[in-house]
Structure 1
Amino acid sequence: MECEICGKPVSETNPTRAKIEGSVMVVCKDCAKLGTIQKAPPKPKFQQNKKGRKQTQPRRTYRNDEPKDELIEDYNVAVRRAREAKNWSREDLGKKINERVSVINRIESGKMTPDNKLTKKLEKALDIKLIENIDEVDLNQFMSSSSGERTLGNVMKIKRK
């Protein structure tokens, strides 16, 4: 193994890792002085399984974290219309949800997409629905195209203005 900076040989059994300019690299002892020496990553702890045997890796559970909810497409128009329907100024809405007027301006102009916390505040204050539930799409219902091929145009719903 070689030093990633100067190319000198580095011990393969106990390499020195140093953080230099924001990057962690394997370096020789001389080049390690250019940054901060990093600790070696921890070795996995052994666990016993049900039969009393040692396992090298802890068991991990995986779950599907695909978002099922999505912000509506024209959220900015919906926020502006709901605010105007209540005869509130942007300052009034900002005070109600404890946000700056500049944030309200950017949301209504479409320059900013609100995060989940801000979206919930807006929904509650304006009594509107900004998050829609996205269900699984059955691709078979879109297969009735004349060419018989599956294309993006067959699957997508295109909104025209």
Structure 2
Amino acid sequence: MRCEICGKKIVGTPLKTKIDGSVMLTCKECSKFGKVQREPQKQRRQGAPRKTGAPRRRPRPAEPTYEVVEDCNLLVRQAREKKGWSREELAEKIYEKASVINRIESGKMIPDIKLARKLERTLGITLLEKSDGATPEDIGHLNARGATIGDIARIKRN
């Protein structure tokens, strides 16, 4: 493990240090820049039964994430024209302003998920697609250890 301040490899256990309101894992040298936090004492053992008798919560399955399709502006315009509606009529049906429809159709605005669902229901089209949910951690980093504050800021030492 590496220090989140200087980036040096930490020998032993890192110290949780509160520096300017942020808790970071630091080496012993960098812990002097803040206040070392104590580990909270554990109230009960991990496998101990609950006294309240309440059922244990199961972790929620990951909800699928959605993205708006790339050519949503064309799909909205074509579907609206096919139904013979003006922008004002469509806006009235989904309880939005006509300027919002204008901005969506001109490509100046990408609708959020809630608005895209309203448009899908009203126009009978598909604007949302499931995304793979890849996070930056899944893709990988250019630098194996990642950036530290020490890479960005120069620490003044007296």
TM-score scaled by structure 2?
Answer: 0.47
- Structure index of larger Rg: 1
